[in-house]
Amino acid sequence: MLASFLAAFFFALNATCANHSVRSLGSARANVGRLIVAAVLLGVFAHTLGGGFSSASLPWFILSGLIGMGLGDLGVFAALPLLGSRLTVLMTQCLAAPLAALGEWLWLGTRLTAAQMAWGGLILTGVAIAITPSKSSPPRVKVRPIGFLFGLVAACGQGFGALISRKGVNVAEAAGEAAHNATFGLTAAYQRILAGLIFVIIWFTLLRLMRRLPAAPVGTTPAERRAGSLWMLANGLAGPVLGVGCYQWALATTPSGIVLPIAATAPLLCIPIAFWLEGDRPPRRAVIGGVLAVAGCMALTAAR
């Protein structure tokens, strides 16, 4: 459970770092850069202290990276301009958990107790209350119906990516590997990140060939670009390295139907981080949703 909470925290920190790096460097450079940073750092660890490419579960984690960090991220990027950030996050986080739990039950036979499902539902309810747009706080873009399809793609990518990671853990255990530790989690994160990096590079290359690559920010100063590079480095460390590493560690020890609701609290953890770094005061509804989600996390931990 500790790994799940750490993953949520690092994902929240990652969101703030990503926002700053994209503003200065543009989405293509910022996203490819963060994955390169992560692949290098995790690769050094995996090929020295970890298992490198020797695990029997390698094909499963490569597939998990292609689906979760490739197809899932593609769905997120496509949904953002059509739904706005809050609706996109809402669909991705609140649908991924039940999809993964259902898939794990049907495919791997993992059953959650009634209490675990109830408290997981409370966490997702708190997240929904906190980030759902309202009349007083509507989406900042014109919502288009096709965006919900891309949101579903994003949720399926995240949920099924986690499910395939759980399958990889089972394969590693069957091969006699020690799969329930942080070293295995970081090695699995490296394998997923590498697959995601290849996917993203191919995707942005295709966009460049079609001349549809997102434009880089104009008018930025050299100092702003240097600051953006530092934010990109922090983004790579917080999200793909520490966040995904803890996420894989959590999936190695805990069913995805428990890990994903806790990881879904990352948007709520962004609230105090944004207040601390940017002075952005949270609305009352976000505080209420946060309290419900925290209560659900505490109860879910006790229900194991």
pLDDT value for 281: 67
Min mean pLDDT across 41-45, 173-177, 203-207, 282-286 is at 282-286
In the predicted structure, residue 135 carries a pLDDT above the cut 80: no
Average pLDDT value for residue range 210-226: 74
Average pLDDT value for residue range 242-264: 89
d(CA 277, CA 8) in angstroms, rounded, equals: 18
pLDDT value for 279: 60
In the predicted structure, residue 80 carries a pLDDT above the cut 90: no
**Which is more confident, 303 or 194?**
194
Q: What angle, 0 to 180 degrees and rounded to 10, lies between the N-to-C axes of helices 85-108 and 146-174? A: 40
pLDDT value for 141: 73
In the predicted structure, residue 168 carries a pLDDT above the cut 90: yes
In the predicted structure, residue 169 carries a pLDDT above the cut 90: yes
pLDDT in tens, 254-289: 899 899 999 888 878 877 776 666 566 667 887 888
> Residue 278 CB: number of other CB atoms within 10 A?
11
d(CA 120, CA 292) in angstroms, rounded, equals: 11
**Ordered DSSP codes for the chain:** -HHHHHHHHHHHHHHHHHHHHHHHH-HHHHHHHHHHHHHHHHHHHHTTTS-TT--TTHHHHHHHHIIIIIIHHHHHHHHHHHH-HHHHHHHHHHHHHHHHHHHHHHHH-----HHHHHHHHHHHHHHHHHH---SSS--SS---THHHHHHHHHHHHHHHHHHHHHHHHHHHHHTT---SSHHHHHHHHHHHHHHHHHHHHHHHHHHHHTT-PPPPPSS--HHHHHHHHHHHHHHHIIIIIIIHHHHHHHHHHS-HHHHHHHHTTHHHHHHHHHHHHH--PPPHHHHHHHHHHHHHHHHHHHH-
pLDDT value for 280: 60
In the predicted structure, residue 304 carries a pLDDT above the cut 70: no
d(CA 187, CA 193) in angstroms, rounded, equals: 10
Average pLDDT value for residue range 220-245: 85
